């Protein structure tokens, strides 16, 4: 069952644009939970061990924003996350890395 849902997540999003629309003024945590946690895990360390661990990403902010807006091989593009929401989301992803670093 788990394998099936993973396959469905992949199939339904592969090479597709996400129409996810963040609420104006949404917090980074809210957007991450709604749009990203299904693949990247609640704490950004990656789900299923298969997806990129965002907490250790070495991307610069500008590159991370580009990755979110353009998507990847398996990651959908999130063109609707932009401007202030995109800034807030990237700040939140950065904070995930810090939380994990403190835990170690």
Q: Which phi and psi angles does 45 have, rounded to 5°?
A: -90, 5
Q: Does 51 bind ligand HEC (CB under 6 A)?
A: yes
Alpha-carbon distance of 104 to 88, in angstroms, equals 25
Q: Does 96 bind ligand HEC (CB under 6 A)?
A: no
CB 26 within 8 A of CB 85: yes
Q: Does 52 bind ligand HEC (CB under 6 A)?
A: yes
Nearer to ligand HEC by C-beta: 41 or 102? 41
Nearer to ligand HEC by C-beta: 1 or 57? 57
Q: Does 9 bind ligand HEC (CB under 6 A)?
A: yes
**Residues binding ligand HEC: what is the number (CB under 6 A)?**
23
Query: C-alpha angle 66/14/4, rounded to 5°?
Result: 135
């Amino acid at each position: 069952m788990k394998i099936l849902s993973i396959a469905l997540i992949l199939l339904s999003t592969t090479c597709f644009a996400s129409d996810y629309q963040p609420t104006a003024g949404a917090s980074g945590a809210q957007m991450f939970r709604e749009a990203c946690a299904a693949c990247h895990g609640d704490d950004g360390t990656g789900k299923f061990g298969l997806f990129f661990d965002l907490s250790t990403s070495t991307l610069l902010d500008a590159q991370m924003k580009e990755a979110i807006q353009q998507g990847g091989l398996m990651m959908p593009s999130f063109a609707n996350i932009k401007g202030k929401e995109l800034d807030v989301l990237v700040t939140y992803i950065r904070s995930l890395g810090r939380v994990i670093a403190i835990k170690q």
